[in-house]
Every structure is written in structure tokens, then in C-alpha cells.
Structure 1
Amino acid sequence: MAQTLQLDGNGDYGLDAKVRALRDVATYPEAPRAVEARETHMSWVFLTDDHAYKLKKPVRYDFLDFSTLEKRRVDCEEEVRLNRRLAPEVYLGTVALTIDENSVIRLGGDGTPIEWLVKMRRLPEMHMLDRRIRRGNIASAEMRRVALRLADFYRHCAPIRIDAPGYCRRFADAIELNRRELSRPEFDLPAAIVANAYAAQFTFLARERALLEARVAAGRIVEGHGDLRPEHICLAPEPVVIDCLEFSYELRTVDPADELAFLAMECAYLGAPGPGELLASTCLAAIGDAPPPALVAFYKLFRATMRARLAIWHVHELVRDDWPKWQQSARAYLALADEYARTLSASG
């Protein structure tokens, strides 16, 4: 039997009530055998036998605003539009969570929309790249197929008109933010590594700024994926890349060499640098690009410190007893950053 909902004191049905309803198989028109709910930092994902439904949390940060139903609806539509560039067969559309005159809540019902979700075809988790890396079960041919899929995507991305000094300044501002947050004493992160990573990046910006400016001048900056990580790549039966960064045009305005360096860094973080390096080199060759090694090392270093910051930021939402997991993750990213800083310094 489908659930009923009542308004809370704020005139809303509330996130918790919506999540409870979406955990119930009776809410779905497809009559699934079961529903698995997974919470992320900014959303809830509900997995049925054949589909995945993503609900945006009503949150607001400096970089996004999901605070109203209309803003969440618009973002759901944008997520579908952008992800259909790389995964049209996965992103099926948006669907309303509705409530009728009897206060019965249904997904895709005829009542009044009280929430919006992205509807996707469910992918086989065993074939996601991060899972395959952990199992040590990746064929080079699979990585080449993903690389060629990405190369086709990048070839169809129009160059973005962007101010070269502004592109460099974007890195400088983010590097300073990373340094400031990673240096906070309560996080207990290795201060020497943070300082060396910061110094290597700013030395690069001072001495090799022309490399970044040349990427802008060559028309290499595009509206890309924005969050190219192993968990967003499915290897089989055909390669699919999902979950692009839909909520910020600026953050997905990138150099493909940067995105590919990011992916290579994330593969190294999982203990398997080879697949990421193969994918990156194959994709760059396919689009006729050969970025200088120093630039690639800078991009990797920048991404590693950024991911360390994002990892340690999780502690803001946790009691201190739950900090060690994210401190360990941040330290692992910083260990990679230290390697990349040494590489970058040696190339200077």
C-alpha cells in the first residue's frame, strides 16, 4: 500500500518523509521487488531492479543552491541534458514525486509534484571502473574503448571563450583555498606535505603560466564532464560515462588534459595508475593533443590537493569518532600530491 504524507510545520512534506516513501516499493509504478537507498553528500539515490532514481537534497552551499523545489527541478533537467552527451541510453528523464487529494504519494503519479528526481537505467555495478580496479580485472582493450568514447565527446565540444588571466587566477584562488583548509590544525594533516604542494603549484604558476595561457589560446578549454572519476565509468557491456558535474558551469569548464589527469590521479589513488594513464594517453592521442608533461603534473597535483580538501571537509558533518576514515583518505591524496610535487619540481 502506498504511503500517505502530511505537511510539516514549515508547510513542506520534509526530506525524511520523502525518503521514507521512496524506500517503499508501493511508491513505484514498476512494482520493484525491493528498493535500496543510498545517501550521498548532496542527494539520495534509490535503486530498483532496473532503474536508479536520484533525489536532490534541499541544501545550499557557495557552489550550488537546491533550496527550493523549482531549483531542484531545473537542476534535474540540467543533469539529464548534460549527461545525455555521454550516456543518452542511461539518462531516461525526470520524474515527479506526487501527492494526490488523499495524501497518497507516488512516483510519476497524477497528483501535485512535491519533489523531482532523475530517472536512470541501472548499470551493472560489477563493471564500474572503481570496482574493477579493486578486483584487478581490467583489460587494456576496455580502457581504450572508454578513451575513444571520451575522445569523440571532446571532439564535439566547442571551445569555450575564456579569459586566459582569469583561467590562471581560478587555479590560484583554488590552490590558496586548498592550502588554507588543509593547514587547519584540527585536521592533523602533514603540514610539510601541504606546504610543499602549495609551493610547487605557485612556483609553477609563476614560472610556467604561459603553459596554461597557451591552452586557452589553442582553444583547448571546453564544457567537459567536470567530475571524471573511476566510479563514474562503466566498462561493460559498452563503455558509458555518467554523473557529470551539472550544478556548476564554471567547474565543468575544463581542459580535457586536466580531466584526464584527474582520472589518472584517481586510478592511482585506488592503487592502479596503469589503467588511468593508458586511458589518458589514448584519448589525448585520438584528439591530437600532446600537453607538456609539466602541465600534466601540475594538473595532477592540483586535483590531488583538491580531493584531499574535499575528503577532509566531510568531518564538518561528523562527530570526531568518525573522522579517521576521511583523515586517512585526505592523507592518501596528500601522499600522491607529494609525489606529483616532486615530479613537478624536477621538471622545472
Structure 2
Amino acid sequence: MNEKEIRSLAKNGLYQGKALEGELEETHISWIILTEIHAFKLKKPVKLSFLNFSTLKLRKTYCEKELMLNSRFTDVYEAVVPVYHNGGLWSLGEGQGEVIDYAVQMKRMSTASRMDKMLRHNKVGVDNIKALAIEVAGFHKNADKVCQPFKLSTAMTLFNDIKNCKDLVKTKVGVSYAETIEGAIKWSDAFLKQHAERFQQRIDQGMLRDVHGDLHSGNVFLYKKPVVFDCIEFNDKYRQIDVLYEVAFMCMDLEAFQHQELAEEFLNTYSDSFPCFQVVEDQAIFNYFKCLRANVRAKVHALSIEQSHEDKEVQGHIVEVKKYVNLMKVYMAY
């Protein structure tokens, strides 16, 4: 589906014979239609360096995988439903005509309870963070261990993928930010070579597990029992990671919101439940992981600059790129 079609589905489409009248939200790889009771997530027909949603068959496959993987965390995910188009009429779940796409059907959660929105309004407290850390640690303890060797070239490629955005950053964001990215790539290559043995030791010790892969505040609802959702389904290597890398994302995110104290609380509470620092060198690896997570967020917003059509959205993504590149600079200086 394209943007015009998804807007028509959200505004005029049907679900179980009734008008959707949905509110549309968008990420760089998905559209989400929010109704009073449900949320329907559709994958954009894109092919990027790290994912491929370019065909209907692939989008169906990844919708089914998303449902299966996220059911490990929550009962929010309900089904994968087809999108029909017939004579100008759009419908979800049931209908006639051609199946144009597929959507992941979820229970509608309270937008006001999403952690990133609560952080923006300074409504996240220590108790929220402790509950989330305990929830994540509990899942990590029982997550499947992954036994595969540390590959230096793969680790380098993961960090260095941001190089594909360097020219865009130079043009749209600023020369100094592109220079920081270039410097970060050199720093990362040197760090990975220096600590390659310890990365492998952590794998041998069972710290590489099939976890969430995208654990940031936008993927958490802070109810009395935190709800973690939207894990990575499109690329197994992004989800089968060192648990310390997962923890680093949440801590980096909290620091990006300028809540260092909450980042420390999350890390301390998690570590009390599931110790993830075993030798002094792990502190440096944790810092590297935070830099890598800031790298990924900078890349996501850089890609979104090209996909945005309104100047306000473009400027918003530019601000975010600057923020995360600056964070990379801070972590490299540790």
C-alpha cells in the first residue's frame, strides 16, 4: 500500500462491517491505524539495507513473525488480518476483492501511558523504572541463549551502516555532524578489534540471547505491570543480542531524555535481578553499546528526513539526528 491508500483505509475503511474512522500514525517502516478498541500495524513496502518488506508475501511473513515473537512479552497482540480492496472500498479482516496487504491487529493501549510521552511530561518515577527493569530482567533470564561466534566484520558492518547516511547528514544536518560520524566509525573499528576476545567470552558465558532488540521508551506502556511491545521481527541478528546491548538501549534513551538518574536506577535494578557486568571490561562494552544505540537512532531519523514531506517533520528529524550524534560524541569521550 502507498500513503494515499493507507489514509483512505484509515478514514473510510471498514472493520467487521463498521467504519474504522482510525487515527493514523507513522514510523519510518510502518503505518499504525488507531481506533477506539484496536491498533492495526501495516508494514511499508520498503527495502532497506537491514530489512525487506517490498513484496506482499514478505509483509505477510513478517506480520506473522511479529505476532509470534511479541506474544512472548504480552497478550496485546491478537491476530494478522488481511486488507481487502474491492470497487474503491477498503476493509480489514474480512471482505471481498483482492488482498492488498496485511496488518497486525493489537489491543488499543492508552497513548498517554506510553513511556516516551510520559518522559516528555516528567511523569516517569523511580517505581516505574524499577518495575520495568524487573520485568526486562525476568524475560532475559528465561530467553533462549544463542550460540554463535563473535564476528568482527559483522560487528563493524552494524556500526558502520550509518556511513550510508553520512552524505545526507552533511547536506541536511551539518558538516560537523557528518565528521563526527566519520570519526565514530574509526573509533568503533578500533574498539571492536581491541575487545573482540571479551565479546566472544560473553557469548560463551550465555549473554547472547533472543530478546527484544528494540527496547526503548516508545515501545513500553507504563501500566502497573509494564507492557513491552514491538520487538524486532525483520532481522534476527538485531534481536539475538548481548543482554547488555538491550539494557544499553533503554539507558541511552533515558539519557537522551536527560534522565541520567533514571538510567542509573534501571541499570542497578536490572543488575540486581540479572547480573550482566562480570568483569571491569564490561563497563567499556556497555558504553560502546550505548554509542551503537545512539548511532542506530541517528540513522533512523536521518532516513526519516528523506521520507518526510512536511517541513516541520523534516526539522524535527534534523533535531533528533543532532541529539543522537552528539550523544555518540559523549560516549566516545568516556
Query: Which TM class, normalised by the smaller chain length?
Result: 0.7 to 0.9
Indicate how the Cα distance of structure 1 residues 115 and 193 shifts in structure 2: closer, same or farther if over 3 A, else same.
Answer: closer
| 5+ long unaligned stretches in structure 1 | 1-12, 344-348
Q: In the alignment, is residue 22 of structure 1 matched against residue 10 of structure 2?
A: yes
* TM-score, with length taken from structure 2: 0.88
Q: Contact (CA 8 Å) 1:189, 1:327: kept in 2 or not?
A: no
Instruction: Give the alignment's Cα RMSD to 1 decimal.
Output: 2.5
Q: In the alignment, is residue 177 of structure 1 matched against residue 164 of structure 2?
A: no
Q: How many residues align?
A: 326
* TM-score, with length taken from structure 1: 0.85
Q: Contact (CA 8 Å) 2:243, 2:276: kept in 1 or not?
A: no
* Aligned counterpart, 2:112: 126
CA positional deviation for 1:196: 4.2
The residue type equivalent to 1:16 in the other structure is K
Per-residue CA distance 1:235-278 (angstroms, 9 max, x = gap): 11421001111111111111111011111111111222322332
Q: Contact (CA 8 Å) 2:70, 2:229: kept in 1 or not?
A: yes
Distance in 2, Cα, partners of 1:245 & 1:21: 25
* Aligned counterpart, 1:339: 330
Q: In the alignment, is residue 145 of structure 1 matched against residue 124 of structure 2?
A: no
The residue type equivalent to 1:316 in the other structure is E
Q: 1:201-240 maps to which residues of 2 (within 5 A)?
A: 201-240=188-227
Q: In the alignment, is residue 156 of structure 1 matched against residue 142 of structure 2?
A: yes
The residue type equivalent to 1:21 in the other structure is L
Q: Runs in 1 of length 4+ with deviation above 6 angstroms?
A: none
Indicate how the Cα distance of structure 1 residues 222 and 36 shifts in structure 2: closer, same or farther if over 3 A, else same.
Answer: same
Indicate how the Cα distance of structure 1 residues 34 and 321 shifts in structure 2: closer, same or farther if over 3 A, else same.
Answer: closer
Indicate how the Cα distance of structure 1 residues 316 and 65 shifts in structure 2: closer, same or farther if over 3 A, else same.
Answer: same
User: Aligned with 1:109: secondary structure?
Assistant: coil
CA positional deviation for 1:330: 1.4
Identity of aligned residues (%): 25
User: Aligned with 2:24: secondary structure?
Assistant: strand
Distance in 1, Cα, partners of 2:3 & 2:164: 33
CA positional deviation for 1:82: 0.6
Q: Contact (CA 8 Å) 2:10, 2:20: kept in 1 or not?
A: no
Q: Contact (CA 8 Å) 1:225, 1:244: kept in 2 or not?
A: yes
Deviates more, 1:133-142 or 1:179-188: 179-188
Q: Contact (CA 8 Å) 1:268, 1:276: kept in 2 or not?
A: yes
Q: Contact (CA 8 Å) 1:43, 1:54: kept in 2 or not?
A: yes
Indicate how the Cα distance of structure 1 residues 287 and 45 shifts in structure 2: closer, same or farther if over 3 A, else same.
Answer: same
Q: Contact (CA 8 Å) 1:222, 1:256: kept in 2 or not?
A: yes
User: Aligned with 1:247: secondary structure?
Assistant: coil
Distance in 2, Cα, partners of 1:218 & 1:224: 16
CA positional deviation for 1:159: 1.1
Q: 1:315-326 maps to which residues of 2 (within 5 A)?
A: 315-318=305-308, 323-326=314-317
Distance in 2, Cα, partners of 1:237 & 1:253: 28
Q: In the alignment, is residue 268 of structure 1 matched against residue 255 of structure 2?
A: yes
Distance in 2, Cα, partners of 1:103 & 1:126: 35
Per-residue CA distance 1:290-327 (angstroms, 9 max, x = gap): 25211111111122123222322333335796644323
Indicate how the Cα distance of structure 1 residues 109 and 217 shifts in structure 2: closer, same or farther if over 3 A, else same.
Answer: same
CA positional deviation for 1:200: 3.2
Q: Contact (CA 8 Å) 2:31, 2:43: kept in 1 or not?
A: yes
User: Aligned with 1:53: secondary structure?
Assistant: strand
| 5+ long unaligned stretches in structure 2 | none
Distance in 2, Cα, partners of 1:330 & 1:48: 31
Q: Contact (CA 8 Å) 1:267, 1:275: kept in 2 or not?
A: yes
Deviates more, 1:73-82 or 1:191-200: 191-200
User: Aligned with 2:192: secondary structure?
Assistant: helix
User: Aligned with 1:208: secondary structure?
Assistant: helix
Distance in 1, Cα, partners of 2:311 & 2:89: 40
Quick check: which has more Rg, 1 or 2?
1
